[in-house]
Amino acid sequence: MERLLNGTATFASVASTPQYSLPPSVARIKKLYETTNDRALGWLSQDAYRTYDPDTVNNTGTPTHYVDLGKSFISVQPSDASEIFVDSTSASDTGLAYLEGYRTGGYYRALSVTMTGTTAVSFAAAITDFIELTNFYLDVAAVGTVTLHEDASGGTELARIPIGQNRSRYHRIALWPAPAAAVTYSVDYERDVFDLSVADDEPVLPYRFHRLLAIGGRLREYEKREDERRYKMAKREYDEVLGQLKYFLMTNIDHRPVMGRATVQRPSQLGPWYPAGS
């Protein structure tokens, strides 16, 4: 049922900038491609990336591979030694915000500050030399969109916590070689599933199968109460609806398997004078 988690996102490259942060919803990259040069990028290990090209910023061209750098709680690191601010789009965000990172000289520091809603507040006015941030989170779920800024309330955005979450999450990648120009890339990905935390949240299930959640809730309750009779009834209903969901997702009305040859061929990459699949 992984197709329920499929998504597509886009981002624009910047000349001579190799590293990028993908949206928090990206759990696993399936394909990364761009249509300017009609190129799908291959995967490259981080070890090979560092071995082949230690000076990644100065080696530019048209990227042929991407490197998975793992998860991060920060989207963009400070451009220089900086004071860090936090604010929200909602006046109701008045809880504690936490920040962890390293100051000039490599000294670790953890700070917290009480937010004041839409008015930006500094984590510490006396600390203006953060060079690397490692963590950013809230004590309660955000009511609005909470953002972390460099140097001033309207400075460069470093991280963002969306509504209903208490932590920022990013999937970091590097393009190799570093882009020589701005190009829009598309990412086919598998998304993470977050908790339903606000009244308007909706599960990723097709609408007709939302009832599966209610049935599952009753199933758990009957199991907890050791109500065997009603548990068995709910289990039969749950299995029946789950089977319908799987059939709904796995059947494809256009699928016509043909022995000995592929049913779909990709377009020719060599121009109209060559057959499909070339």
pLDDT of residue 165: 87
* Euclidean distance between CA atoms 22 and 9, whole angstroms: 8
Q: By three-state DSSP, how is residue 126 classified?
A: coil
CB 135 within 8 A of CB 113: no
Stated pTM of the model = 0.72
Q: By three-state DSSP, how is residue 248 classified?
A: helix
**Cα-Cα-Cα-Cα dihedral of 43, 69, 39, 36, to 10°?**
180
Series of mean pLDDT values for 10-residue runs along the chain (278 residues): 88 92 87 94 93 86 93 90 95 96 94 95 94 94 94 86 88 93 94 79 90 94 94 95 91 69 67 73
pLDDT of residue 259: 67
Place of tokens 């998860």: 71
CB 38 within 8 A of CB 185: no
Q: Closest Cα partner for 136 from 116, 172, 154, 161?
A: 161
pLDDT of residue 256: 67
Q: Residue 117: CB partners within 8 Å, gap ≥ 6? A: 87, 88, 90, 91, 92, 93, 94
pLDDT of residue 33: 96
**What ranges make up the beta strands (E) of 169-231?**
170-176, 178-179, 184-191
pLDDT of residue 58: 82
* Euclidean distance between CA atoms 63 and 59, whole angstroms: 10
